[in-house]
Structure 1
Amino acid sequence: MLLIPLLIFCGFSKKKSKILIIGDSISIGYTPFVKENLKNKAIVKHNPGNAQHTGTGLQKIKEWVGTENWDIIQINWGLWDLCYRHNDAKVYGNRDKINGTITFSLDDYAKNLEKIVQSIKQVSNAKLIFVTTSYVPKNEAGRFRKDAQKYNKVAKRIMKKYNVKVNDIYKKSKAIHKKYGKGEDDVHYQEKGYMALGKIISNFLVKEI
């Protein structure tokens, strides 16, 4: 007699959503916290390694999306795109905003983002979410602080065109970086910073599940 109620209960239990996060090292840092926060509601995965800039995204997006039936795909590019690099620079990653060359101009960034969104829509019916570029501190060797907002403005325009929801974390990431950043010359965060970012991402995603 206990078997029938058990089968009925199992039949109505909600299936976990499948979420793919594609992004740079900032997203790599907060993804473990997102996984933990949403463990009862979703299976959260990150693309292998660092998604770097939109050029890498164009090359690998279909590989990353694969054939999995994703419910949500969250994407982010920007920090690598707006970075200036020079082969002779001594700083890690050859960053050099004085003598270097920008990875992708605003126009090229926009074109690449548009192609990436189109490519995802060709192979997946997942709900798309774009996360804006996080805060760039003043003394970062390869990036200008104001560029993050310029690239975010362009990204929002592209996302609006394709009805992609935007999770604008810039202002919040700035406040978090002031408390838990790795320094005024580093875009990365301490563990508590990634935890705080993870909460922001989780709170947005849970409303979309």
Structure 2
Amino acid sequence: MKWYRNYILVFVIAGTLVIQGFRTEMPKVFVIGDSISIFYGPYLKKALSGFFTYDRKRGVGEAMQDLDNPVGANGGDSQMVLDYMRELQRDSTFTSDFFLINCGLHDIKHKSKEGPAQINLKEYKKNLSEIVRISNEMKIKMVWVNSTPVVDSIHNKRVPFLRFNRDVIQYNMAADSIMQAAGVPVIDLYTFTEKFIPQGYMDHVHYVEAVRREQADFIAGSLVAIKDCDDE
């Protein structure tokens, strides 16, 4: 029976090595996004288990101290995301197979009803085009997640700055056009999230836990489908 035990041992070791091999070969996805992405992040990481290695811009604790002030893990507006992408490009130790990127809600902030957006539409388009270009130069596949809806009447009576859903729609359309031209897949989180509004809000723009889980599952399914298409 000694030969039998040895055979079992070899089989177990070989199986372990195969499993480890699959683990090391899992593609890595690196997330850059606003506080919406921070909230669904833990559920996305879990949903992607076995398909992707998950990582994101660091500093979640810092970001959670003030969700409307983009610091730490909060990617902020498109100029901030572009600046961070440039940092990653200069970092010779950084590696990833996929970027999962979103920005927009901080771009459309207004100090007053008549005042300009924090990042105007022209600059937003320019920044997104640069983000795509850098991703291509880094040879990292980019996937875009569009911005979630805003209910003006709820949002604008709860915080000292304004957002308007007409801007969300306009900026999302501009992003869609840029991504389509560049061959970048778009995950339409806006349309997916509409059915949870307004009951799914926990405040002016963020979502309760149940909605975060749904968003994460939707994004994970989309990302796995995108990966599978690339593998074919």
Instruction: Give your verdict on TM over 0.5.
Output: yes
Which of the two has greater strand per residue?
1
With normalisation by structure 1, the TM-score equals 0.85
Pair 1:198-2:216 in alignment:
yes
1:206 is paired with a residue whose SS is: helix
State percent identity of aligned pairs.
27
Per-residue deviation, 1:17: 2.1
Per-residue deviation, 1:162: 1.3
In structure 1, the partner of 2:64 is none
- Alignment-mate amino acid for residue 154 of structure 1: A
The alignment of Structure 1 onto Structure 2 pairs a total of residues equal to 195
In structure 2, the partner of 1:176 is 196
With normalisation by structure 2, the TM-score equals 0.77
Per-residue deviation, 1:22: 0.6
In structure 2, the partner of 1:18 is 28
Per-residue deviation, 1:204: 0.9
Per-residue deviation, 1:99: 4.8
Candidates 40, 50, 72, aligned match of 1:30: 40
Contact 1:20 1:74 in 2 (8 A): yes
Unaligned runs of 5+ in 2: 1-5, 59-72, 157-161, 228-232
Q: Deviations over 1:182-203 (max 9, x none)?
A: 25xx111111121111111111
Structure 1 stretches of 4+ moved >6 Å: none
2:198 is paired with a residue whose SS is: helix
Q: Deviations over 1:103-124 (max 9, x none)?
A: 111111101100111112222x
In structure 2, the partner of 1:80 is 106
CA distance in 2 between counterparts of 1:110 and 1:63 reads 20
Q: Deviations over 1:157-190 (max 9, x none)?
A: 111121101111111212123331125xx11111
Question: Over alpha carbons, which structure has the higher Rg?
Answer: 2
Pair 1:58-2:82 in alignment:
yes
- Alignment-mate amino acid for residue 202 of structure 2: K
Per-residue deviation, 1:11: 4.7
1:207 is paired with a residue whose SS is: helix
Candidates 103, 115, 122, aligned match of 2:118: 103
Q: Deviations over 1:119-139 (max 9, x none)?
A: 12222x222100011111122
Contact 1:74 1:130 in 2 (8 A): yes
CA distance in 1 between counterparts of 2:98 and 2:13 reads 29
Candidates 182, 185, 188, aligned match of 2:206: 188
- Alignment-mate amino acid for residue 15 of structure 2: F
- Alignment-mate amino acid for residue 39 of structure 1: S
1:69 is paired with a residue whose SS is: coil
1:170 is paired with a residue whose SS is: helix
Candidates 142, 156, 161, aligned match of 1:128: 142
Contact 2:101 2:142 in 1 (8 A): yes
2:210 is paired with a residue whose SS is: helix
Per-residue deviation, 1:83: 1.2
In structure 2, the partner of 1:5 is 11
Q: Deviations over 1:1-26 (max 9, x none)?
A: 43543454345432322111110000
- Judged with a 3 Å threshold, the aligned counterparts in structure 2 of structure 1 residues 68 and 4 are, in CA distance, closer, same or farther, namely farther
Q: Where does 1:133-144 land on structure 2 (aligned, <5 Å)?
A: 133-139=147-153, 140-141=155-156, 142-144=162-164
- Judged with a 3 Å threshold, the aligned counterparts in structure 2 of structure 1 residues 26 and 64 are, in CA distance, closer, same or farther, namely farther
CA distance in 1 between counterparts of 2:132 and 2:219 reads 20
- Alignment-mate amino acid for residue 58 of structure 1: L
Candidates 167, 186, 209, aligned match of 2:187: 167
Q: CA RMSD, aligned part only? A: 1.9
